[in-house]
A and B are shown apart, each in its own frame.
Chain A
Amino acid sequence: MNAPRTAGARGGPLRPVLAVYLGTAAGTLAWLAAIILAPWLAAGRSTARAAALLYAAFSPICHQIPERCFQFHGHPLAVCGRCLGIYAGFALGLALYPLVRGFTIARLPSARVFILVTLPMAVDGTAGALGLWASPIGLRFATGAVWGVLLPFYFVAGAADLLRTRRARREARALENQAGKT
């Protein structure tokens, strides 16, 4: 199966890929730090309000059910085990990205790989939601992590292509303006 390639795949080194990669890596570290920071702040007496803010910030993207969250300093992390697995997997995928893709090619994974990697989490999540079984938090983390490893290969490729397209449009517009003046 031919996976879609970005417009810049034919060219030399893609600066947008490197820029997006570094930005995503910094953002991922901050994201993971905030998840761990929430229970650490909740454990302190004077920082409970800040902890509540962090928990509230993550509430739109996770149910935060304490039984399904890893604990730190006696308080649940800001996201559940599965979400933590996804983000940890995302970080691992980012670390693997240069080895697998490098910074010259921004290409998307094939649909077959996506389905294969999604299947364990989908089966576990669906069965849990239907009440067929209640998987332990470690399994939730693992299935989330397997899925998360693949995600940077979409995110970096998409964001780099977006950056490149916008730069190309801006440059084309500047050239048109220049041509109009002369």
Chain B
Amino acid sequence: MNQQKPEYLRPALIVGAVAGVLSGLPAFSLLNCICCLWILGGAAIAVKILSQATAFVLKPSDGALEGALTGIIAAIAHTLTTLAFKPDMETARRVLDWLSSIGIEQPSNIDGILERTTAFMSPAWIILGLFVTAIMYALVGALGGVIGVSLFGKKPAGAAPPPPPPSSGPADAA
């Protein structure tokens, strides 16, 4: 059985890392509230990249797999970013103060959020947190990936799937 399989890892690595970092940054993470915007949107973008790099039409299963992979990589990037920012509460406070100064309202539970971030900081909690986040992000990513297939997965009618042969003369450059 000779089935064509797209190259899932590259788009998932690139987009997952960016989405994970953005969802872990103190200020940008608030945008994740729109149903995991970074992860959902990131998975859809990863599928768009995959679609552009693939000659054949993507199936929903390709989107689900690509999205889940993007979500898992985003969870790792999210955890690492959170760890990098958590201990430095001073910086977090400064960022929040800056956001307040430019008119972005702070949630009333911001102190609670900052306290919670330091409550589960032992290695065991971090690993458990990574595991839970990976499952959640994989599910949301799979959803985003399938949405991505429905939005970007189709090739325009009449598009030639095989790549053109290499140019052989100056006439091709024109």
**A residues apposed to B, CB below 8 Å:** 3-4, 6-7, 52-53, 55-57, 59-67, 80, 82-83, 86, 106, 108-111, 114, 121, 125, 129, 131, 144, 147, 151, 154-155, 157-159, 161-162, 164-166, 169, 172-173, 175-176
Known: A114-B151, A155-B143, A164-B61. A82 touches B107 (CB 8 A): no
B149 partner, pick from A4, A125, A176, beta carbons under 8 A: A4
Known: A154-B147, A169-B3. A62 touches B116 (CB 8 A): no
B109 partner, pick from A64, A82, A111, A125, beta carbons under 8 A: A64
| Complex contact A64–B150 (CB within 8 A) | no
Minimum distance in angstroms from A20 CB to a CB of chain B: 10
Query: What are 20 of the A-B contact pairs (CB < 8 Å)?
Result: A4-B154, A52-B116, A55-B116, A57-B132, A60-B75, A61-B137, A63-B29, A63-B107, A64-B109, A66-B107, A108-B146, A111-B151, A121-B34, A129-B31, A154-B146, A154-B150, A155-B146, A161-B59, A161-B64, A164-B61
Task: Tell me whether B36 is interfacial, beta carbon within 8 Å.
Answer: yes
| Complex contact B147–A114 (CB within 8 A) | yes
Minimum distance in angstroms from A147 CB to a CB of chain B: 7
Per DSSP, chain B at the interface is: helix
- CB-CB under 8 A from A4, the residues of chain B are 57, 59-60, 149-150, 153-154
- CB-CB under 8 A from A164, the residues of chain B are 61
List B130-174 residues whose CB lies under 8 Å from chain A: 132-133, 136-137, 140, 142-143, 145-147, 149-151, 153-154
A158 partner, pick from B120, B133, B142, beta carbons under 8 A: B142
Name the CB-closest residue of A to B132. A57
- CB-CB under 8 A from A175, the residues of chain B are 1
**B residues apposed to A, CB below 8 Å:** 1, 3, 23, 29-36, 39, 57, 59-61, 63-65, 67, 75, 78, 103, 105, 107-109, 113, 116, 119-120, 129, 132-133, 136-137, 140, 142-143, 145-147, 149-151, 153-154
Minimum distance in angstroms from B36 CB to a CB of chain A: 5
Minimum distance in angstroms from A31 CB to a CB of chain B: 9
Minimum distance in angstroms from B159 CB to a CB of chain A: 15
| Complex contact B136–A56 (CB within 8 A) | no
Name the CB-closest residue of A to B67. A158
In the assembly, what is the distance between CA of A63 and CA of B112, in Å? 12
| Complex contact B33–A83 (CB within 8 A) | yes
- CB-CB under 8 A from A82, the residues of chain B are 33-35
| Complex contact A86–B35 (CB within 8 A) | yes
Name the CB-closest residue of A to B30. A63
| Complex contact A158–B30 (CB within 8 A) | no
Name the CB-closest residue of A to B20. A60
| Complex contact A109–B1 (CB within 8 A) | no
- CB-CB under 8 A from B67, the residues of chain A are 158
In the assembly, what is the distance between CA of A65 and CA of B112, in Å? 10
In the assembly, what is the distance between CA of A6 and CA of B58, in Å? 10
| Complex contact B60–A157 (CB within 8 A) | yes
Minimum distance in angstroms from A90 CB to a CB of chain B: 9
| Complex contact A125–B34 (CB within 8 A) | yes
B150 partner, pick from A53, A56, A110, beta carbons under 8 A: A110
